[in-house]
Structure 1
């Protein structure tokens, strides 16, 4: 089930996000070798194949679509993504002065800008997990601030999902068969490394987790970097930095952390003690009610 919300970009121009009826083929191959992705549709997500739980990048721009190892992939954000920070207190959370320039990967696809999302649609994952996964940001290494946020509707307030200005880890709960995109804002050009893990309770009662480092080259003057290790300190209790920077991008079983709920919907709500974004579709509700 897919439902893209409306995206309010930093230019304050609303545009409806396309809602392709995305289904992932169990037989999609994994591409070998390094790749730089600077345009088109890509999703970060867990993959379960031959009993191995990994975090990979689904490259939908390739023909046919393929999965890529995150350690061998750089997401390049070109200067076509530059926007000015608006003079609006609602965007103070971005940590950049009004009028300054930032690179923005918008929630809705923009020509010439890589379109970064996430999904839990790998057929192996769908068959194995119980209800969903926990996708956690464990740390950020880069020259500026990084913020990932959602915004829906012409009156909707920005809903911050991840921010390099907040304590780590920052977990998001993502339901099964979810596919969504958010706004990614980088306040300075340069190389960014984001330590991410994805954990899940499996239907057989066990738990599993994998770690990786997402690599981004922000700005035309930034050359793709496949080799710089992630050395920023990770929070207490998280996977070791060496595991997060592992070239394999895989990890060992562990339990998930505290949950900040995110799925797909047309509405969002704040709750005391943390951000909760509940996203579901009318069709899903109807299907549940019909099955009662």
Structure 2
């Protein structure tokens, strides 16, 4: 009984410590404007791929330090669903074109030499923690190609990244918190196969 109590006390202590640490490190909230949410980078001195966030002011942030606020201004009501893109009813849409007051979230390869990777990287949505019934879709509105989707039935867990700079459409189908974990891989002409760490992004929707 004493051992159980000690273990419980230690677990509670660890939980309180984590909670305090989380409060001490406030996230940078981004709720509108141009942001390269997935900014792919390569450190050729360490042979290391990475994914971070580029802000509109030119700053670079770690994804763990950013909260993307997909607020009510992004709400779109649909009378019909579009398979693997939009649900019928409420959807929160981050548009592919810049719109005042809304997020304009894309990706970039400007921090690396894409030609050194044969012109292409492979990005994967490794996991998605979503609200009940919620899905996220990232697709190109001009071509209809779904680049990422949290539902495995849509067969879009990853995509080739061939663009220097690109803004797709992001759709979240339920309000709540989404935690999306991405990873990127590539084959460098000199350094060979390289893989980034898994990087988790947080989106607050609603």
TM range (shorter): 0.7 to 0.9
Residues 125, 35 of structure 1: alpha-carbon distance in 2 compared, 3 angstrom cutoff: farther
| TM-score for both structures, normalised by structure 1 | 0.55
Residues 147, 127 of structure 1: alpha-carbon distance in 2 compared, 3 angstrom cutoff: closer
From 138, 145, 153, the equivalent of 1:148 is 138
- Secondary structure (helix, strand or coil) at the match of 1:121 reads strand
Alignment of 1:105 onto 2:94:
yes
Point out the structure with the larger strand share: 2
CA-to-partner distance for each residue in 1:28-69, whole Å, 9 max, x for gaps? xxxx9841111111111211235242111111x22xx11111
| TM-score for both structures, normalised by structure 2 | 0.76
- Unpaired runs of 5+ residues, structure 1, are 1-31, 220-292
Query: 1:131 — aligned with what?
Result: 119
Query: 1:165 — aligned with what?
Result: 151
Contact 1:139 1:169 in 2 (8 A): no
Alignment of 1:218 onto 2:193:
no
2: CA distance between counterparts of 1:146 and 1:111?
Answer: 22
2: CA distance between counterparts of 1:129 and 1:216?
Answer: 30
Contact 2:149 2:156 in 1 (8 A): no
Larger radius of gyration: 2
Query: 2:13 — aligned with what?
Result: none
From 84, 93, 117, the equivalent of 2:84 is 93
Residues 48, 86 of structure 1: alpha-carbon distance in 2 compared, 3 angstrom cutoff: same
1: CA distance between counterparts of 2:54 and 2:100?
Answer: 19
Contact 2:146 2:156 in 1 (8 A): no
1: CA distance between counterparts of 2:179 and 2:53?
Answer: 15
| Alignment of structure 1 residues 1-292 onto 2, 5 Å | 34-43=27-36, 44-49=38-43, 50-51=45-46, 52-59=48-55, 61-62=56-57, 65-87=58-80, 91-94=82-85, 96-97=87-88, 100-122=89-111, 124-126=112-114, 128-143=116-131, 144-152=134-142, 158-166=144-152, 170-175=157-162, 178-210=164-196, 211-219=198-206
Residues 38, 136 of structure 1: alpha-carbon distance in 2 compared, 3 angstrom cutoff: same
Report the count of equivalent residues: 175
Higher relative contact order (CA 8 A, sep 6+): 2
Contact 1:85 1:101 in 2 (8 A): yes
- Unpaired runs of 5+ residues, structure 2, are 1-24
- Secondary structure (helix, strand or coil) at the match of 2:120 reads strand
User: Over aligned residue pairs, what C-alpha RMSD do you find?
Assistant: 2.3
Q: Which runs of 4+ in 1 moved over 6 A?
A: none
